[in-house]
Chains A and B, each alone.
Chain A
Amino acid sequence: MTRSTLRLLLASVVAALALVVAACGGSDSSGSSSSSSSGGGASSETGQPKTGGTLRQLGSSDVDYIDPGHTYFTTGYVLAYAIGRPLYGFKPDTADPVPDVAADKPQISDDLKTVTVKIKPGIKFGPPVNRAVTSKDIKYAFERFFSVNVGGQYATYFSSIQGAPKSPTKGVKSISGITTPDDQTIVFKLSRPEAVVVSAALVMPITMPVPEEYAKKFDAKNPSTYNTHVVATGAYMIKNDAQGNLTGYKPGKSIDLVRNPNWDKSTDFKPAYLDAISWTTNEADASISAQQVLTGSHMTLEGNPPAAQLKDAVLNRKGQWQQVPAGGFRYFPMNTTIKPLDNINVRKAIIAGFDRDAALKARGGKFTGDIPTHFLPPGIPGFEEAGGAAGPGYDFLKNPRGDMNLATQYMKKAGFPSGKYTGNANLLLVTANADPNKAQGEVAKAQIEKLGFKVTLRTVPQDAVYTEWCQVPKKQVAICGASGWFKDFTDPQSMLDPTFKGANIAKNGGNNNLAQLDDPKIDAAMDKAAGLQGDERNKAWAEIDKMITADAPAVPFDWDKSTNIWSKDVIGVANRYQTEMDFNFTGLK
């Protein structure tokens, strides 16, 4: 073999190896998460920001999509809510939605099968559309969401709308259950009595108006190219040209936002102080960006700062940070169909002995989250009714560092006289192969083994943890080591129904009830609570939360918090819905 041939082969092997490394890598994003990280705390400075100026946001990753019909991750939401207006939005200091494009609260029929929303007059699309928004624009936004070309990612919340496609459609199809009796009214007819949940979900980007006459030529393409032609309704817009091409969006590099000239302050509750936002999406090392933000001028950081800068901000930089609850929980679900985890006392023993503080430290410690005492997280209605931070008071969740004496007692109750497991079962624990999920998985293995269990730890790429393992019941995963569930909207049903309802167990994959908890009493209580509204609803779901916690289906170890930081000459405001900076309320001093 010649020298040249050898080198050529070497080159090809190097290239192939590079791809193997890449293929074995994976995203650290939670597969079931739409929000990033939870609890709350703040040292944000109050005061009136000045009007005008340019804010620079430093981010290390791009948005997933700009298209409101397609985006489903935190960074995408930050952008979506700056340039688009949903039917219902959020003020920064409250978890309750307020009307945005909508004129008032949704009207829900007595049979819970019809939702009627009136929309405000005088809201206009930005350039190049420049016309008033009507209810038909929202109907079209829903219909295109179900098109495979657009790729809407949370159809499940709207599957009860009459005529909603069961699978993605080829092209945009009309949905019979959505009607627009006039330009200011949209009506959702449901095939099931799920009006409460559908109403709660009307805060999602799917409700942002999309002008059909402008978007249909983009939506006809596969995939839709509306993503790079999105037209604004919000206070800001991405710079574009006369044809609507988003010239201010450079994938993986930057997003330039300017004011939407057609935005009318009188129609909106958002102050929108800034003139422009220059958002870089490829910043270098997170510690460098965070340092630049804390010591620099007119900057905010996208995402949580690394531990050193987080500590610096919290301890030394009053007025430059804010923590908001991420509205989710991280947990180690225990498969209740696998022996000996089918024994409730074994599960209680594991939780009782588990040092959950160690698991939280593996994710960054107290600055990144609080140790839960139940499942419904802070920021979600029903949290206080479920016991708040103190929780319902179950003994096995009392000591965050673990109580081996109590664990031993539960093991004895489970039929193990020595207080330790003496059987032959080998428990499969699956986690991601990259930190922090790898580290927390290793903590879980050590904690469970304290009680004499044999645990096999399997680390897999993050993107495979859910789809190939934890969500596939036939894989017989005993404990999932990298799972979390975060809100899509602020409703307790959306937190507990998919994750702990027995009827939702999907045997063939895509299962979100990772513990496979199948308690008929809990299912019945959920069915009843689904139709309730207001305080009654919150109380009912809080009781369900207590029932689930009493069944000990998982070890909850983190109510995530999201920390936002900014420069000293910025008055930063974090949004409790998408948990990141809110450009509509943030301003300069």
Chain B
Amino acid sequence: MGPYIIRRLLYMVVVLLFVTAITFLIFFVLPTADPAALRAGRSPTPETLAAIREQLGLDKPLPVQFWLYLKALVLHFDFGNSFVNNVDVRSLIFDRLPNTLFLIVGAAILWFIGGVTIGTISAVKRGTVLDRAAMGTALVAISAPVYWFGLVSLYLFASDIGRFPVFPGSGAYQDAHGFFAKIPTLILPWIVLAAAFAAVYARLTRSNLLEVMSEDYVRTARAKGLTERRVVVRHGLRAAITPVVTVLGLDLGILVGGAILTESVFGIPGIGRLSFDAIQRGDLVTVQGCTLFLAFAVVFMNLVVDILYAFLDPRVRY
């Protein structure tokens, strides 16, 4: 296991370097407009543009710019300063990270437990009304765009503008102070974010479990006289859940990079909202920082998932 983790960590560094180079090239070689011109205001003179390029370091040769960027990134975990408002991108990201984590961890618990439970029941009750109803609902949940679902839930259930004012509405998260005060404000966002994921996980669990339950070792377990519940949970689900955990790892990694739509609809100041604002304002340094952070999260979660395999699936050995 040890050498494997070291090997994977080295891979991780290579991939992150690769992503950094690509994002840098996209930003500095293929920009849609001159960042200096965007920052220079009305009717800038060529001298003004030159001075701004110098200030931003855009006058240096590309390899030098990349080296400086990389150096700051590796040595100081410094993503640079926003070209739009001069704010340190690292502080922006880390300031928002707890909010994103709070949102996605809660939603992940909901969707994982909900999805796996529904998928398992569906598989066990295959072909019944319960199975069809669960899978039909899952199809609807998958098809409903998060943004639309979020808006509808606010118009229906938000305490300020909702028809049935039950839950705190958009913006309530930011107004609430303290861990416990924030929990009620996240109920609607958790449900909205979890819905589509839970549906996917239910379908995935169902199909995996059906496949596993037809395996020889499951037949053997039944032949040994184990209870059906024990067969399903100990022998079937444990194997069927491995691919689900893989997807969970990837999903969490991507969502750490920002649940853009959910954060936007509910006014949660997370990394997704930061990326959304940065894209709207053409603030590519911030977008670049968020992208690198996303890459890091995805690669890291991949590693975590691969390590988890060894514990979940007895057939996997490193």
Instruction: Let me know if B298 and A15 touch, CB within 8 A.
Output: yes
Instruction: Let me know if A252 and B294 touch, CB within 8 A.
Output: no
A284-299 CB mask vs B (1 if < 8 Å, else 0) is: 1101110110011000
Q: How many Å lie between the Cα of A151 and that of B54 in the bound state? A: 12
Q: Which residues of A contact B11 (CB under 8 A)?
A: 4-5, 8
Q: Which residues of B contact A288 (CB under 8 A)?
A: 151, 154, 161, 169-170, 265
Instruction: With a 10 A CB-CB cut-off, give which of B55, B86, B288 has the most chain A CB atoms.
Output: B86
Instruction: Let me know if B23 and A19 touch, CB within 8 A.
Output: yes
Q: Which residues of A contact B288 (CB under 8 A)?
A: 19
Q: Which residues of A contact B147 (CB under 8 A)?
A: 285
Instruction: Let me know if A282 and B273 touch, CB within 8 A.
Output: yes
Minimal beta-carbon separation of B78 from chain A (angstroms): 15
Across the two chains, which residue of chain A brings its CB closest to B84? A64
Q: How many Å lie between the Cα of A64 and that of B82 in the bound state? A: 11
A550 at interface (Cβ–Cβ under 8 A)? no
B73-110 CB mask vs A (1 if < 8 Å, else 0) is: 00000000100111100001001000000000000000
Instruction: Let me know if A15 and B34 touch, CB within 8 A.
Output: no
Of the A-B pairs whose beta carbons lie under 8 Å apart in the complex, a sample of 29, sorted by A's number, is A8-B11, A11-B15, A11-B253, A12-B18, A12-B295, A15-B292, A15-B295, A19-B22, A19-B26, A22-B287, A23-B27, A26-B32, A27-B281, A32-B42, A61-B281, A62-B277, A65-B85, A153-B42, A168-B48, A223-B81, A252-B277, A283-B267, A285-B150, A285-B264, A288-B151, A292-B160, A462-B282, A463-B282, A488-B42
Instruction: Let me know if B306 and A510 touch, CB within 8 A.
Output: no
**Which residues A1-37 have CB closer than 8 A to chain B?**
4-5, 7-9, 11-12, 14-16, 18-29, 31-32, 34
**Which residues A477-507 have CB closer than 8 A to chain B?**
488, 498
Instruction: With a 10 A CB-CB cut-off, give which of B23, B52, B147 has the most chain A CB atoms.
Output: B23
7 further A-B contacts with Cβ under 8 Å, apart from A23-B284, A464-B32, are A11-B253, A15-B19, A23-B26, A64-B85, A251-B87, A295-B161, A510-B44
Instruction: Let me know if B92 and A19 touch, CB within 8 A.
Output: no
Q: Which residues of A contact B253 (CB under 8 A)?
A: 11
A380 at interface (Cβ–Cβ under 8 A)? no
Q: Given known contacts A8-B12, A23-B27, is B154 in contact with A252 (CB within 8 Å)?
A: no
A156 at interface (Cβ–Cβ under 8 A)? yes
B176 at interface (Cβ–Cβ under 8 A)? no
Instruction: Let me know if B174 and A280 touch, CB within 8 A.
Output: yes
Q: How many Å lie between the Cα of A20 and that of B25 in the bound state? A: 10
Q: How many Å lie between the Cα of A199 and that of B317 in the bound state? A: 78
Q: Given known contacts A58-B171, A148-B52, A166-B47, is B32 in contact with A16 (CB within 8 Å)?
A: no
**Which residues B267-303 have CB closer than 8 A to chain A?**
267, 269, 273-275, 277-282, 284, 287-288, 291-292, 294-295, 298-299, 302
Q: How many Å lie between the Cα of A12 and that of B291 in the bound state? A: 10
B38 at interface (Cβ–Cβ under 8 A)? yes
- Name the 9 nearest CB pairs between A and B, nearest first: A153-B41, A167-B47, A15-B295, A168-B51, A467-B37, A461-B32, A22-B287, A464-B33, A284-B267
Q: Given known contacts A15-B23, A19-B287, is B38 in contact with A467 (CB within 8 Å)?
A: yes
Contact of B267 among A5, A26, A280, A462 (CB under 8 A): A280
Minimal beta-carbon separation of A511 from chain B (angstroms): 9
Q: Given known contacts A19-B291, A151-B39, A167-B47, is B264 in contact with A61 (CB within 8 Å)?
A: no
B127 at interface (Cβ–Cβ under 8 A)? no
Q: How many Å lie between the Cα of A296 and that of B299 in the bound state? A: 44
Q: Which residues of A contact B302 (CB under 8 A)?
A: 4, 7-8, 11
Instruction: Let me know if B23 and A156 touch, CB within 8 A.
Output: no
B181-202 CB mask vs A (1 if < 8 Å, else 0) is: 0000000000000000000000
Across the two chains, which residue of chain A brings its CB closest to B4? A4
Contact of B41 among A29, A154, A462, A468 (CB under 8 A): A154
Instruction: Let me know if A166 and B45 touch, CB within 8 A.
Output: yes
Across the two chains, which residue of chain B brings its CB closest to A70? B86
B61 at interface (Cβ–Cβ under 8 A)? no
Instruction: Let me know if B292 and A285 touch, CB within 8 A.
Output: no
Instruction: Let me know if A12 and B19 touch, CB within 8 A.
Output: yes
B40 at interface (Cβ–Cβ under 8 A)? yes
Q: How many Å lie between the Cα of A342 and that of B48 in the bound state? A: 33
Minimal beta-carbon separation of B291 from chain A (angstroms): 5
Q: Which residues of A contact B281 (CB under 8 A)?
A: 27, 29, 61
Across the two chains, which residue of chain B brings its CB closest to A460? B32
Q: Which residues of A contact B34 (CB under 8 A)?
A: 467-468
Minimal beta-carbon separation of A7 from chain B (angstroms): 5
Across the two chains, which residue of chain B brings its CB closest to A67? B86
A262-304 CB mask vs B (1 if < 8 Å, else 0) is: 0000000000000000001011110111011001100000000
Q: Which A residues lie at the B interface, using CB under 8 A? A: 4-5, 7-9, 11-12, 14-16, 18-29, 31-32, 34, 58, 61-65, 72, 148-149, 151-156, 166-168, 222-223, 225, 227, 250-254, 280, 282-285, 287-289, 291-292, 295-296, 460-464, 467-468, 488, 498, 508, 510, 512
Instruction: Let me know if A292 and B12 touch, CB within 8 A.
Output: no
Instruction: Let me know if B267 and A467 touch, CB within 8 A.
Output: no
Instruction: Let me know if A22 and B284 touch, CB within 8 A.
Output: yes
B266 at interface (Cβ–Cβ under 8 A)? yes
Instruction: Let me know if B282 and A25 touch, CB within 8 A.
Output: yes
Contact of B278 among A15, A22, A253 (CB under 8 A): A22
Q: How many Å lie between the Cα of A288 and that of B159 in the bound state? A: 12
Q: Which residues of A contact B32 (CB under 8 A)?
A: 23-24, 26, 460-461, 463-464, 468
B63 at interface (Cβ–Cβ under 8 A)? no
Q: Which residues of B contact A151 (CB under 8 A)?
A: 39, 52, 55
Q: Which residues of A contact B30 (CB under 8 A)?
A: 23
Q: Which residues of B contact A63 (CB under 8 A)?
A: 85
Across the two chains, which residue of chain B brings its CB closest to A467? B37
Q: Which residues of A contact B37 (CB under 8 A)?
A: 467, 510
Q: How many Å lie between the Cα of A7 and that of B45 in the bound state? A: 48
B43 at interface (Cβ–Cβ under 8 A)? yes
**Which residues B141-183 have CB closer than 8 A to chain A?**
147, 150-151, 154, 160-161, 169-171, 174
Across the two chains, which residue of chain B brings its CB closest to A254? B174
Instruction: Let me know if B280 and A27 touch, CB within 8 A.
Output: yes
B50 at interface (Cβ–Cβ under 8 A)? yes
Across the two chains, which residue of chain B brings its CB closest to A167? B47
B235 at interface (Cβ–Cβ under 8 A)? no
Q: Given known contacts A61-B280, A251-B87, is B41 in contact with A283 (CB within 8 Å)?
A: no
Q: Which residues of A contact B170 (CB under 8 A)?
A: 283-285, 288-289, 292
Minimal beta-carbon separation of A150 from chain B (angstroms): 10
Instruction: Let me know if A14 and B23 touch, CB within 8 A.
Output: no
Instruction: Let me know if B51 and A252 touch, CB within 8 A.
Output: no
B49-73 CB mask vs A (1 if < 8 Å, else 0) is: 1111011000000000000000000
Instruction: Let me know if A463 and B265 touch, CB within 8 A.
Output: no
Across the two chains, which residue of chain B brings its CB closest to A278? B175
Contact of A253 among B84, B174, B254, B292 (CB under 8 A): B174
Q: Given known contacts A22-B279, A461-B32, is B45 in contact with A12 (CB within 8 Å)?
A: no
Contact of A282 among B18, B86, B277, B298 (CB under 8 A): B277
Minimal beta-carbon separation of A250 from chain B (angstroms): 8
Instruction: With a 10 A CB-CB cut-off, give which of B27, B31, B37, B95 has the most chain A CB atoms.
Output: B37
